[in-house]
Structure 1
Amino acid sequence: MKYLDNKSRETQASNSVEHSPAGELMTEDLPWGLPQAFSDGIPLYRGKHRGDYTTLSAETDGEAIAQWLAEKAADSVATARAYRREAERFVLWAARSRHRCLSDLDRSDFAAYREFLRNPGPEWMMARQLSRRHPDWRPFLGPLNDQSVYYALSIVSGLVQFLVDTGYLRANPMPSPKKPPGQSFSPIARSLSKAQIAFLFSAVNELPVQDGRSELMKLRARWMLTVFTTTGMRISEACGHLMGDIQRVPLKAESVWVLMVTGKGGKQRAIPLNQRFITEMVSFRRELGLGTYPERGETTPLFPKLNQVSDGGDFDGLSFEGIGSRHAYRIVKDLMLSAADIASKAGEEYEAGNLREAASTHWLRHTVLRDIADETEDLRLVQLFAGHSNINTSAAYSAKDLESLVKGLSGL
């Protein structure tokens, strides 16, 4: 980080209250580092909206953003990744396109950023996902649709409001993001049919096996599908939990297997496990050389890495690490593409279309919650199972009104 000395900082701070930055500026890195293609940094000076007193221990905009991330996204890896991505996109745009730091942006700058998200331009886009260390990395894979623009601006709006609330900024220059009209989220429309689930497991069964390691990977893929289609966990939850979180819990009438999950906001819930889950768990654990059932406190990841397993399938003395969310997503997404091919060969083009074009790991969560809503007609149970903060979120999984409408119109 390239800092001004105290005298220069005070001079530039006083000048920046009345004037936009001009000439050569000092710059800083983002606390989590800058991508190679943007290594010139972000402007470092005191913007005209900086407050005179703040409860943050931050001297720069980058440090203030880092404290926002640490406070708002500490409980979820997925949330932290999404918040960091949107904050980074925003400050890189401000630096490269407006030559300003965050604390110096006006209302017109935020309006310009909204339009930029709809059409970033080729210099801001990459053709495929690359490492941030790659010189061709860019912040976008393509223009954002209206829903994604709203999502991105909502995160930036939360950041700016946090800076105002903590006194880092004296005013909020950002217009409130407007939700796109006529677009409502329907988890039922983003769930899979029984036929599509069957095609997914067929895709697992058809995975090729060349050696011991690929056989283990095939078993892990089946285990992962079983976990997602029985527990409805978010991918970040599944990749963050251990075999030791699977526990036997005594109830009044009997003891049951549950998965103790820590979800969004650090909320904990117990997910009851059905016999299909237990059967697949036992099978997978035996292939890993583990005991039949998990021990309390066991640290084996729910989804272990297998890249260190030898071609012959030897893992003696291997301490398993867990795979990350991106790795898990790629495994399931590849299975969905294979399942789409199987469905297409079977003449089920509609079933193939969703699997190929839209479905993701989160669709498996929607599918589980939709089935619970259909079978129990009890939204409170859906809320408990999913870990929703608001029961209105759970209500979106009920197809009861739609079913009633279909039955009522069936005779017309």
Structure 2
Amino acid sequence: MPLALDGSAGSNRPSTGRAQISANNDLDAIRAWLSRFVDTRTTFENYRKEAERLVLWSVVMLGKPLASLTHEDCLRYQRFLADPQPAATWVAGGGRKHARTDARWRPFYGPLSPASQRQAIVILNALFSWLVQAGYLAGNPLSLSRQRARQAAPHITRYLEPSIWQEVKDYIATMPRDTARESAHAYRVRWLFTLLYLGGLRIAEVGANNMGQFSVRRDVDGTMRWWLTVHGKGGKERLIPATREMMVELSRYRQHLGLSALPSPNEDTPLVLPIGATTANGGTQTCAPLTRAALHAIVKEVFAGAAVKLRERDPSAAARADILEQASAHWLRH
């Protein structure tokens, strides 16, 4: 990057004072900020994405480094997020994701929704504030933005009422099992939805934890019970009570895979396995867990299938089928 654009001589760099980080250019300063989130993959990737988008826009569209951005520049960037133009420069064709090494890679896949725009600005405001605190910037150009008035807590609207949840369960129960692959998929779906609904796990937590985290512990009343220790968002650990229904479903899934009914301590079998990830003797191969994208795709496929079945059975239930088509894994936590 040319010296004039690397931020080392940016107009928002402090003239006095001692910086708390060794970075002397924008990229190194951003790396220092991101280093605080390396243990939380999802957060790290989201924060890096927003910082990268802003730096690219600043250099390409304004010809200035991050360390020279003004409040007016930030307002202009907010408008840009709603419609990244020229699209050929900024938006991947057809909204498809490409590897960063691919010439077709672009920072955006289309205009950001209002919610995504707000989230981007929240992340960038945190970046600027930290860089000011670290002594790399003299001021936060986003701090002058109008603050939204505090509002009452919103009502939870993204959830599945019992009758719609029953449609999902009925659909899962009737999934085809004519081939070995169909059967494996049906067992996997049933167990995945058990984790999401009964356990309240996030999609990322399903992929990041394993069966060895089930354990028997003594309850406050002295009863021995099964629990699932989940390492979740922000590196926090929480205990989830593994109900009898959850343990029955776990045993059903494991026995279909040829495993023992119950997991052993420190077992590293992923909570949900890719199809075909078992050996002939019933052991599990060393395999990577399903990605968040793959798990999301499975969940959306089930919701869509349940919606189709509902429409076929009851044409007057179009509104309820629409809800199913909109649903995502997060709805199950509600």
Q: Same fold (TM over 0.5)?
A: yes
Q: Which AA in structure 2 matches 1:189?
A: T
Judge conservation of contact 1:69–1:84 (CA < 8 Å) in 2: yes
Matched, 1:295 2:264: yes
How far apart, CA to CA, are the structure 1 residues paired with 2:203 and 2:104? 28
1:169-205 CA-to-partner distances (Å, cap 9, x unmatched) read 1222224555667987746201011222222233333
1:257 alignment partner, SS class: strand
Give 1:153-232 correspondences, 5 Å limit.
153-178=121-146, 186=154, 188-209=156-177, 211-232=179-200
Change (3 A) 1:180 1:142: farther
For residue 217 of structure 1, report the CA deviation from its aligned partner. 2.3
How far apart, CA to CA, are the structure 1 residues paired with 2:147 and 2:332? 26
For residue 258 of structure 1, report the CA deviation from its aligned partner. 0.9
Matched, 1:272 2:241: yes
Aligned to 1:85: 49
Change (3 A) 1:319 1:298: same
How far apart, CA to CA, are the structure 2 residues paired with 1:235 and 1:178? 34
| Selected match of 2:106 from 133, 138, 153 | 138
Aligned to 1:248: 216
Q: Which AA in structure 2 matches 1:285?
A: R
Aligned to 2:333: 365
How far apart, CA to CA, are the structure 1 residues paired with 2:152 and 2:319? 23
| Selected match of 2:251 from 270, 278, 282 | 282
How far apart, CA to CA, are the structure 2 residues paired with 1:315 and 1:269? 30
For residue 331 of structure 1, report the CA deviation from its aligned partner. 1.0
For residue 143 of structure 1, report the CA deviation from its aligned partner. 2.2
Judge conservation of contact 2:269–2:284 (CA < 8 Å) in 1: no
Q: Which AA in structure 1 matches 2:58?
A: A
For residue 74 of structure 1, report the CA deviation from its aligned partner. 3.5
Matched, 1:105 2:74: no
More deviation, 177-186/123-132: 177-186
1:348-384 CA-to-partner distances (Å, cap 9, x unmatched) read 211111221x311111112xxxxxxxxxxxxxxxxxx
Aligned to 1:304: 273
| Selected match of 1:350 from 312, 319, 328 | 319
1:227-282 CA-to-partner distances (Å, cap 9, x unmatched) read 00101122222211110111111123311111112223332221112222111100
Judge conservation of contact 1:146–1:180 (CA < 8 Å) in 2: no
How far apart, CA to CA, are the structure 2 residues paired with 1:167 and 1:47? 13
| Selected match of 2:82 from 118, 122, 126 | 118
Judge conservation of contact 1:239–1:303 (CA < 8 Å) in 2: yes
1:274-309 CA-to-partner distances (Å, cap 9, x unmatched) read 222111100111122222111111111112223656
Q: Which AA in structure 1 matches 2:237?
A: Q
How far apart, CA to CA, are the structure 2 residues paired with 1:314 and 1:177? 62
How far apart, CA to CA, are the structure 1 residues paired with 2:82 and 2:164? 33
How far apart, CA to CA, are the structure 2 residues paired with 1:101 and 1:293? 56
Aligned to 1:76: 40
How far apart, CA to CA, are the structure 2 residues paired with 1:306 and 1:170? 54
For residue 45 of structure 1, report the CA deviation from its aligned partner. 4.7
Judge conservation of contact 2:8–2:25 (CA < 8 Å) in 1: yes
Matched, 1:94 2:94: no
For residue 337 of structure 1, report the CA deviation from its aligned partner. 1.2
How far apart, CA to CA, are the structure 1 residues paired with 2:305 and 2:227? 31
How far apart, CA to CA, are the structure 1 residues paired with 2:33 and 2:59? 19
How far apart, CA to CA, are the structure 1 residues paired with 2:299 and 2:223? 35
Change (3 A) 1:293 1:57: farther
How many residue pairs get aligned? The number is: 325
Aligned to 1:318: 285
Question: Structure 2: 5+ residue runs without aligned partners?
Answer: none
Q: Which AA in structure 1 matches 2:333?
A: R
Change (3 A) 1:319 1:154: same
2:300 alignment partner, SS class: helix
How far apart, CA to CA, are the structure 1 residues paired with 2:152 and 2:107? 27
Change (3 A) 1:326 1:180: farther
| Percent identity for Structure 1 against Structure 2 | 30
Matched, 1:335 2:305: no
How far apart, CA to CA, are the structure 2 residues paired with 1:175 and 1:68? 18
Aligned to 2:226: 257
Q: Which AA in structure 1 matches 2:265?
A: R
RMSD over equivalenced CA pairs, Å: 2.6
For residue 314 of structure 1, report the CA deviation from its aligned partner. 8.5
